[in-house]
Chain A
Amino acid sequence: MGARQFGFEPLSGAAGSVRHEADVLVIGGGPAGTWAAVSAAAQGARVVLADKGFCGTSGATAPSGTGLWHVPPDGQAREKAKASRYAMGGELAEHAWMDRVLAQTWDNVERLKAWGYPFPVDDEGQLRCTSLQGPEYMRLMRKQAKSAGARILDHSPALELLVDEQGTVCGATGVNRQTGDTWVARAGAVVIATGGCAFLSRALGCNVLTGDGLLMAAEVGAALSGMEFSNSYGLGPAFSSVTKSLFYNWATFYTADGQPIEGAGSSKGRGVIAQTLQTQPVFACIDRADPQIRAWMRVAQPNFFVSFDRQGIDPFTQHFPVTLRLEGTVRGTGGLHLVDQDCSTSVAGLYAAGDAATRELICGGFTGGGSHNAAWALSSGFWAGAGAAAFGRGARAASTRVALRAGGVALSSRGAAPSDSQAMVRAVQDEVFPIERNWFREGDTLHESLGRLDALWVRLRSSAPAANATEAVRAREAAAMLATSRWMYRSALQRTETRGMHRRREHGALDPTQRHRLLSGGLDEVWVHRHAVTEGAIA
């Protein structure tokens, strides 16, 4: 790719009041980003990690608790684990990637033990490593990234990538949203670990996840994959942010007058809840948990009970209203397309990890939520960090090369019309939140939504650049959500079947001829095309 032909502007000598030089720049400080930082530093790379919020509290994992796909290295256990989501994912997962993730997760858990993560011990004295408590885990990961030598920039959202004249990624610029300073980080390679996109739905920990890294990557020409697998909705109390669904396995779901709703359930019956919510409120009560289960719940996920305790609700005996909050690609599986085992993307110098990357490789089109995403974050982060370190150290001699600014929309547009980021965000939410548009998809409604979303994009393109640091961050978030929604719905339109979490009303069955991935990308013109799944099916 010739970068000049895109009309990218050179980075001016004066731009950036704070400058950083590194072999590897990691954008995002959740699990994937911190593992990438640790891994890159272990290869001897100089690492800068920039987080939009605070590395340690940012992202979906930190305020939460998460299962972990930690399976002992015995043949049968692993085969069973791999098979568990394979069919539900529409047979889009890949055997070799699942093997790699299970092996790397096993190794990285050994590292967590050595670093002192307090895994629980069972009655037989065995450490149990199938879950991680978010606050403790991410506090530890921040500490490990720092002690590995990574320089952490908190409250420092990246706004755009930098590329050289060959189009190789060589850094990023951003702002510190507390000081208003701009920063420039020149790096040999960049890891995108910015998480998925949950469209500011206020699902637990998800409001920093607005698809920023997807937009930045697409601007330099990177491809995405599986963006149709982006309609995951988290179940939780209607008033609350806490979209943790494990405990609803012990719930009964009711109508307002206390009648059980037939077929409603947390996992397989969630479609019934979605359907019912379109016409009436749905209530839950965790009334199938015996005293032992209740006691385990209290110590398993303290955050689950914070909401109830503070609202004076006993979730084991009282009916409380529930809702579905869109978690988009966070618990979906779509994200940046990876072209190699080192988590490199289709653009030289650019790597992706965690929820910013596609998780189809290990769970196809079925949710990556919980254990798989956690395992993927610590594995893909580890590989992306090492891959970026190898690439970045090779590029060190070229650190004085020309850098071009790749960020277009909302940053370097030449229009004069002021843009209203808040209105833009609401307009995107109106297209992606409604269950009747996104949980259940249909050709006609997808077309209608895309018509409005494309028009929004044209308007955004002709608007004036953001006036200051705060505005720039919000404008780029709005732009990233808008771009993400267009990749989502264009991919959803192309997949004329029901597979994994992607459901088409008029194509209710799986079509065996569509067992392929859908790659997508582009900004003004969104493109979608087919890509074969690498074979190596489960025996």
Chain B
Amino acid sequence: MIEIVDPVRCTACNICVSACPTNVFETTPDGPPRIARQGDCQTCFMCELYCPEDALYVAPIADRSADPAERDAAAKALMGSYRSAIGWGRGRESTASLDASFELLIRAH
């Protein structure tokens, strides 16, 4: 589930508030959006892809909040990692063009 809105990186553009399909975030008057409904998070990682500042971290645990121990070190190392893997963001190219699924589909069936 969504765990972190980094107040240092966040510019309060509120794109995540719009982009989250399950309406987890809420705007605040003077700062970063807050995680208002963490329990509604479906761990789809879409907010991370749409965040231009890599200010969000979604822990991969679907059914509960992450412990600080399993959250903080991973977040420090991996914030923005998924967006980078997809190739979204300035100076990057979508990695959809590298999608090797066809090689696997041929071999799986």
Do A and B associate with each other? yes
Mask: chain A, 119-148; 1 = CB below 8 Å from B; 0 = not: 111100000101111011100000000000
Is there a chain A Cβ closer than 8 Å to B104's Cβ? yes
Mask: chain B, 65-109; 1 = CB below 8 Å from A; 0 = not: 000001000100010011001101000001111111111110111
CB pair B102 A58 closer than 8 Å: no
- B interface secondary structure, majority: helix
CB pair A299 B100 closer than 8 Å: yes
Which of A62, A249, A293, A299 contacts B21, CB < 8 Å?
Answer: A62
> Which residues on B sit within 8 Å (CB–CB) of A52?
21
Is there a chain A Cβ closer than 8 Å to B62's Cβ? yes
> Which residues on A sit within 8 Å (CB–CB) of B99?
65, 119-120, 131, 133, 299-300
For B102, give the chain A residue with the smallest CB separation: A128
Is there a chain A Cβ closer than 8 Å to B23's Cβ? yes
CB distance from B72 to the nearest CB of A (A): 12
Is there a chain B Cβ closer than 8 Å to A97's Cβ? no
CB distance from B27 to the nearest CB of A (A): 9
Residues A59 and B102 in contact in the complex (CB < 8 Å), given A118-B94, A302-B86, A306-B45: no
For B71, give the chain A residue with the smallest CB separation: A310
> Which residues on B sit within 8 Å (CB–CB) of A295?
100
CB distance from A42 to the nearest CB of B (A): 25
CB pair B60 A240 closer than 8 Å: yes
Cα distance A72–B74 in the bound complex, in angstroms: 44
Which of A57, A59, A241 contacts B50, CB < 8 Å?
Answer: A57
Which of B82, B100, B107, B108 contacts A306, CB < 8 Å?
Answer: B82
For A207, give the chain B residue with the smallest CB separation: B42
Is there a chain B Cβ closer than 8 Å to A33's Cβ? no
For B84, give the chain A residue with the smallest CB separation: A302
Cα distance A101–B81 in the bound complex, in angstroms: 37
Residues A249 and B108 in contact in the complex (CB < 8 Å), given A120-B102, A310-B74: yes
CB pair B21 A300 closer than 8 Å: no
> Which residues on A sit within 8 Å (CB–CB) of B22?
53, 207-208
Is there a chain A Cβ closer than 8 Å to B43's Cβ? yes
Question: Which of A159-167, A198-206, A344-352 has 4 or more CB atoms under 8 Å from chain B?
Answer: A198-206
Residues A136 and B62 in contact in the complex (CB < 8 Å), given A67-B105, A309-B81: no
Cα distance A503–B74 in the bound complex, in angstroms: 42
CB pair A117 B46 closer than 8 Å: no
Cα distance A293–B107 in the bound complex, in angstroms: 9
Instruction: Report the interface size for chain B: residues with CB under 8 A from the other chain.
Output: 43
Is there a chain A Cβ closer than 8 Å to B49's Cβ? yes
> Which residues on A sit within 8 Å (CB–CB) of B4?
none
Within 8 A of B (CB), among A243-267: 246-247, 249
Cα distance A323–B40 in the bound complex, in angstroms: 21
CB pair A122 B102 closer than 8 Å: yes
Which of A118, A136, A297, A311 contacts B70, CB < 8 Å?
Answer: A311
CB pair B95 A299 closer than 8 Å: yes
Is there a chain B Cβ closer than 8 Å to A301's Cβ? yes
Is there a chain B Cβ closer than 8 Å to A178's Cβ? yes
For B48, give the chain A residue with the smallest CB separation: A306
Which of A122, A155, A178, A202 contacts B43, CB < 8 Å?
Answer: A202
Mask: chain A, 421-459; 1 = CB below 8 Å from B; 0 = not: 000000000000000000000000000000000000000
Which of B45, B63, B94, B101 contacts A131, CB < 8 Å?
Answer: B101
Which of A119, A154, A240 contacts B62, CB < 8 Å?
Answer: A240
Binding site for A on B (CB under 8 A): 17-23, 40, 42-46, 49-50, 59-63, 70, 74, 78, 81-82, 85-86, 88, 94-105, 107-109
Give 17 CB contacts A-B under 8 Å: A54-B18, A54-B19, A54-B21, A57-B21, A120-B97, A120-B98, A131-B102, A205-B44, A240-B60, A246-B101, A246-B108, A247-B104, A249-B104, A293-B107, A300-B103, A302-B82, A309-B81
